[in-house]
Structures are given as structure tokens and as C-alpha cells.
Structure 1
Amino acid sequence: LSNHGIEATMMDGMMSASTEFFWRPLEDKQRYTNLIGGEQFQFEGYGNDRVRSPDQILDWSDRLYLKVGPEDERHITLWPTHPQNFRDVLHVFTKKCGRVKDDLLQAMAKLLDLDNDEYFVDQLGEKAETNVRCSYYPQCPRPELVCGLKPHCDGTVLTILMVDDSVGGLQVLRDGVWWDVPIVPRTLLVIIGDQTEVHLS
């Protein structure tokens, strides 16, 4: 998606803030851990995904997962304060992504000849949940043994993904073939989530 209305400076600022967070010392990042009491997993916070068994193959990635909407349900204590602009940049960036999401849903409704362009937006309601996931893939000593992120579907309505302009590797599965997603600077990748696919089928 190009011409999406999010300024290049805003995208660069979000990428820079998240990168700077991941480069901080581990003890700083663990202030926002997704483990309650060091054991009980919660989706929000910094860390890895849930470990369900000792035999589980883990993704080789760090992640920061935060609820950004509705705004009155944010757990702001899990939002990093370093870099100092992280919270402000994330707030503005996700608001702009929200407008992109609404525009896309309205366009989809129009293209499907639905009676109301707001059909999908109305389905979400005024308290739609929106989450952000910042992912970092550190160097791995045995890259042939791991995936940065295992093959998966997005269980969402829409995923709006800002890809690092300098790091490739993202693939999508279509008709049994894995296709490389090209890097196109300053664009957003839109993934139709499971909820939308079920609704449309």
C-alpha cells in the first residue's frame, strides 16, 4: 500500500524508536516483561511468545506486544519510556494506521457493492481492539535451525505491517508456494486476517 497518508518522517520515527528500544540492555527491556512474577505469561509486554512445552520450537525473535486501542484500556506501564519519545511516537503512528485501516475497510465494502461503505467499520464498533507488535530478529549463530517467525495465519480483521526497508525475508504462502515479499520503501503491507476471510466467504 503506497500513498497511505503516513509521512515518511513518521514511519522513520516509529522504526527508529522501536529499534532503539530493542538495542537497550536486557535489564532495561525486562522492566516491561510479559511474564508476571517471572512465570505467568501475558500477551502484552516484552519477551518471546508463550512457551507451552519444553519440546516447543521457539521463534528466534524478541517482541514487544502492546494494546493501543481502546485508549482507555492501555496498560501504559508496559509502554517503554526509553527512548523518551517512544510513547508519543507509538500513539501518533497507531492513530494514523487506524485511519488507514478505516479507509481500507470502507474501500473493501464499496468494492463488494455492500449497501453501506461503513459496513466493516460498523462491525468493529466503537471499542475495537487494536494491538501493535514490534519485532526484532537478532543475529543467530545457527540460522539453519530456526525461523525468525514460524508460518502462521493472522487471526485479525486486518494487519497493517511496516517492514524494515533494509531487511528482507518475509514470505507469504499462496497455492502451496512460498513467495518472497519485495521490499518497497515507505509502503505498508496489508494482510487480510482470518476474521475478514471468514466473514467474506
Structure 2
Amino acid sequence: MEVERIQALAAVGLDTLPAQFVRPSHEQPENSPAVEGVFVPVISLSQPHHALIREIHEACRDWGFFLATDHGIPLELTGQLQEAGREFFRLPQEEKEKYANDPSRKNFEGYGTKMTKNPDEKVEWVDYFFHFMHPSGKVRHEIWPRHPPSYREVTEEYNKEILKVTEVLLELISDGLGLEKNVLKASLGGDQMELEMKINLYPPCPQPQLALGVEPHTDMSVVTILVPNDVPGLQVWKDGNWFAADYLPNALFCHIGDQIEVLSNGKYKSVLHRSLVNKEKTRMSWAVFCAPPQEALIGPLPELINDQNPAKYSTKMYAEFRHRKLNKLPQ
């Protein structure tokens, strides 16, 4: 199946945006601007533990989102990861197509362009590369980019670092919920918890005020840990308004996902967010989704429900949750 790639479309030098990318009026960034002067939470992971727990709790409860600094991932490694991703997307189109995925056949790993349309038949302005990083039994190195040659080594090193950060975040979130620090990880498959890498490329767009890189959504993951390049575009929803999550050098953008909302019985909210695009510059992001194994049963944790606070979510296998989410079915 031949797919029109956004990067190739942008390279033609369009003056106007093709109709399938023009969002409904109420979704267009020019008609739904972000609130000015309010900043998303920024949390140093090196501060005293009691203060850290309080800030994590407040951010997860009020925003479902925060920027994490002092996280321990070497700046040099993040730079190498980003350069490897940029190099892949610089390859000739025919080279990139060798890695093409086919979501229609449930083959989601590889090089893709999101063709799953919403009810308005609108398409997002983004290409991507997606693959598993952990656990080793899920990793298919044969579909990872072979160019640049550094891709595998750098990504495997980054995986080790993200595993450490994920474990720390899950312990902090458990603490914030008043649980033993290992409860969330144990509920999510322990060492079989999955990490998925998605490199998003948002090329320059001729009319960015009319388009979206990614439409408003929540992540079905447990947490998403993302690093962007320096072109802004991520916005999060809170109290009926959009708020810009501006670039902060060497910060991790941390999203609370649907599974934390379910496990916490709604105490922490999965963050609704969207991605804007830029007229002059290419925006990129490297998102790592932490998810339970497909067979994991996910529901409100027993410690967080009682007669006064009954379960607000059903318990189901993550595979079923994922199927319902992807097909826009009620949970």
C-alpha cells in the first residue's frame, strides 16, 4: 500500500494546506490558543524526598503532566539519540520505505504515517518510527534502522537509562498515592513492563494555524517520557484551556497515561494533550511509552477503593483496553 508521507509532501513546497489536514474550526490552533503566562510544573528529581513526593503528587493530581530535571540521563546520550533519529529521517525516501509498517495488518512497528482518520476524516501532520525497546523478548532488532549505524547502540543505552527513570517515577507516584513504593511496578508486570520508542517528525507546515501534528488525545500507556527538539509545540489541557509545555533543555516531559488513571481510581488524571506544527522549522520528539504486558489485568488498586470511594473503572486485560482505545469503543 502506497502511503503519502508528510515529509515528502512538505518537501514539495506547498503554499496552502491540503483539505484533509485542515482541522475543524474549533480545533484550529488560531481558534484555540494556549493560555499565556502560566507554566507547567517543573520538578527536580534531586530535591529532598518529602518535597519531591509532594510536587509529584500535586502535578499528577492537578495536571497529569510535569517536566523532570536532574534525572541522571547524560545530556550527551540524549543528543546522540536525537542525532540518530534525525539521520534516519534524512535518508532518501526509498531507503525509509524499506522500514514501512502496515497497521492494517496489525504491524505497527517501523516507519509510518498515521492514516487512522477521525470522524471528520482529518489527517495529522506527522511521520514516525515506532518500535519496542524492552523487554528483550519483544525487541525485533531486524526492523530497527540500520542507518545510521549508531542507532542500535545509542538506543539500547538510552533504554537502560529510561528503565532507571521509569522505576524512579513509578516509586514516586506510588508514594504520592500513599502506597508502598513497589506497588505500581508490581501491578504493571514488574520487569516484563514494556517500553516502546516512537520518534515523531513534524515537518514545516504551510498553514500551521489550521493543522495539528497530533490531535487531542490521552496516552493509553502508564507513563510517557518524552524529549523534544527545541521547536515548541506540545500543549496540555487543564481546566478548560490549553497550556504550552515549552522546551526546557535536558528536561524530560512526563505524561501520566490512562493506566495510572485507572490504577489510581481517578486520583491522578491521564493528561489530554496535542501537538502543534511550525511553518519554518521541523519539530521532532522522542517518546517512550511505558506499558503493561498485553495479558496484565489492570483495574483500580484494592488499596485505593472502599465503600466511600468505589471503583470508577472496570478491571480488564491491557490487550482489551488497547483494542477498545484504538477502535474508539467505550471502556
Question: TM-score under structure 1 normalisation?
Answer: 0.91
Are 1:149 and 2:206 counterparts? no
Measured against aligned partners, the alpha-carbon deviations of 1:53-107 in whole angstroms (never above 9, x if no partner) come to 8962111111001011111211222100111100111111122111101001111
Q: Which of 179, 183, 187 in structure 2 is aligned with 1:123?
A: 187
Q: Following TM superposition, by how much is the alpha carbon of 1:29 offset from its aligned partner in structure 2, in angstroms?
A: 0.9
RMSD: 1.8
CA distance in 1 between counterparts of 2:143 and 2:114 reads 16
Q: Which of 60, 66, 83 in structure 1 is aligned with 2:148?
A: 83
Which residue is 1:46 aligned to? 111
Q: Which of 239, 251, 258 in structure 2 is aligned with 1:175?
A: 239
- Contact 2:232/2:246 (<8 A) preserved: yes
Q: Which of 61, 64, 71 in structure 1 is aligned with 2:136?
A: 71
Q: Give the length in aligned residue pairs.
A: 197
Unaligned runs of 5+ in 2: 1-67, 266-331
C-alpha distance 169-52 of structure 1, shift in aligned 2 (>3 A) = closer
C-alpha distance 149-53 of structure 1, shift in aligned 2 (>3 A) = closer
Letter in 2 for 1:102: E
Letter in 1 for 2:238: R
CA distance in 2 between counterparts of 1:48 and 1:55 reads 18
C-alpha distance 95-200 of structure 1, shift in aligned 2 (>3 A) = same
Secondary structure at the counterpart of residue 32 of structure 1? coil
Which residue is 1:160 aligned to? 225
CA distance in 1 between counterparts of 2:248 and 2:138 reads 34
CA distance in 1 between counterparts of 2:118 and 2:199 reads 24
Which residue is 1:12 aligned to? 79
Measured against aligned partners, the alpha-carbon deviations of 1:102-138 in whole angstroms (never above 9, x if no partner) come to 0011112223221x21111111223112111000111
Secondary structure at the counterpart of residue 213 of structure 2? coil
Which residue is 1:106 aligned to? 171
4+ aligned runs moved over 6 Å, structure 1? none
Which residue is 1:56 aligned to? 121
Which residue is 2:248 aligned to? 184
Letter in 2 for 1:167: V
Letter in 2 for 1:184: L
- Contact 2:131/2:197 (<8 A) preserved: yes
Letter in 2 for 1:185: P
Letter in 1 for 2:157: V
Letter in 2 for 1:27: E
C-alpha distance 55-27 of structure 1, shift in aligned 2 (>3 A) = farther
Which residue is 2:290 aligned to? none
CA distance in 1 between counterparts of 2:241 and 2:210 reads 21
- Contact 2:125/2:203 (<8 A) preserved: yes
Unaligned runs of 5+ in 1: none
CA distance in 1 between counterparts of 2:117 and 2:249 reads 37
Q: Following TM superposition, by how much is the alpha carbon of 1:35 offset from its aligned partner in structure 2, in angstroms?
A: 2.2
